[in-house]
C-alpha cells in the first residue's frame, strides 16, 4: 500500500513538472483579434456598454451583439414589455464571421459590418444612427417613433436570459 502511494505521488509530481514547462506551444499563438476592432468616428464606444443580448444571422454570415447603458440594461432585463425610458442608449455591433483557429467548429468576429445607436430622447421618441465602412462613418441617421423601422425593432429586443 505504501509503495503504491509513493508511486502515485511520483506520477503526480512528474506530470506537474512536465505540465508547467515554460516553453510556449508554437501551434497556439495568442493574438488580439485586430479584425474585430471598431475604428472610426463613433459618438461612443459601444464595447464599453453592458451586453444585453447577441444573435447570429446564418444567411448573411454575421454575428451581432447589443450593448446598452445602465438605464437600457435595467429595462431590457425586466419581464415587463414596456418601452425603453428616456436616457436609454442601445448600440448594436454587427461583425462578419470567421472560423476560430483555436476552437473546432467555433466562429469569431471578423470585420465590422455596422454599428447602430438608438437613444431614447423622449417618451415614444428616439434618435437613430448607423455607421458602416472602414473606418466607420455615419451612413444613416434620423429621429422618430415608428415601431416598424429598424430602431423600433432594436428597441423590441429583450435581454438574453442567463442562469
Identify the pLDDT of residue 83.
85
pTM (whole model) above 0.75: yes
| 18: pLDDT strictly greater than 60 | no
Does residue 13 lie in a domain region?
no
Q: Tell me if 94 sits within 8 A of 19, measured CB to CB.
A: no
User: In DSSP terms, which residues pair with 131 in a beta bridge?
Assistant: 115, 138
Q: What's the chain's average pLDDT?
A: 85
Does residue 49 lie in a domain region?
yes
Identify the pLDDT of residue 56.
95
What nine digits make up the cell of 22?
515554460
Does residue 161 lie in a domain region?
no
Length of the chain: 163
Higher-confidence residue of 92 and 98: namely 92
Query: What stretches of the chain adopt beta strand conformation (E)?
Result: 50-57, 62-68, 89-99, 107-122, 125-132, 137-144
Domain of residue 151: give its range: 26-156
Does residue 98 lie in a domain region?
yes
Higher-confidence residue of 137 and 82: namely 137
Confidence bin at 7 (pLDDT 50/70/90): low
Does residue 11 lie in a domain region?
no
Task: In whole angstroms, give the CA distance from residue 104 to residue 138.
Answer: 36
Listed residue (140, 136, 142, 139) closest to 119, CA to CA: 142
Listed residue (127, 131, 157) closest to 144, CA to CA: 127
Confidence bin at 39 (pLDDT 50/70/90): very high
Does residue 2 lie in a domain region?
no
Q: What is the dihedral of CA 23, 27, 29, 34, to 10 degrees?
A: 170
Phi/psi for 143 (5° steps) reads: -130, 155
Number of domains in the chain: 1
Structure confidence by residue, pLDDT tens digits, 106-120: 889 999 999 999 999
Does residue 3 lie in a domain region?
no
Structure confidence by residue, pLDDT tens digits, 61-71: 999 999 999 99
Does residue 92 lie in a domain region?
yes
Amino acid at each position: 500500500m505504501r509503495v503504491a502511494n509513493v508511486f502515485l505521488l511520483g506520477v503526480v509530481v512528474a506530470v506537474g513538472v512536465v505540465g508547467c514547462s515554460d516553453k510556449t506551444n508554437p501551434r497556439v499563438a495568442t493574438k488580439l483579434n485586430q479584425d474585430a476592432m471598431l475604428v472610426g468616428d463613433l459618438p461612443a464606444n459601444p464595447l464599453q456598454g453592458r451586453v444585453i443580448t447577441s444573435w447570429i444571422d446564418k444567411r448573411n454570415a454575421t454575428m451581432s451583439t447589443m450593448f446598452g447603458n445602465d438605464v437600457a440594461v435595467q429595462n431590457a432585463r425586466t419581464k415587463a414589455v414596456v418601452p425603453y425610458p428616456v436616457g436609454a442608449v442601445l448600440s448594436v455591433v454587427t461583425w462578419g464571421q470567421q472560423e476560430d483557429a483555436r476552437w473546432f467548429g467555433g466562429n469569431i468576429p471578423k470585420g465590422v459590418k455596422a454599428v447602430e445607436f438608438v437613444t431614447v430622447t423622449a417618451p415614444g421618441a428616439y434618435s437613430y444612427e448607423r455607421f458602416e465602412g472602414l473606418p466607420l462613418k455615419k451612413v444613416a441617421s434620423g429621429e422618430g417613433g415608428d415601431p416598424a423601422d429598424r430602431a423600433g425593432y432594436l428597441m423590441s429586443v429583450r435581454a438574453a436570459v442567463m442562469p
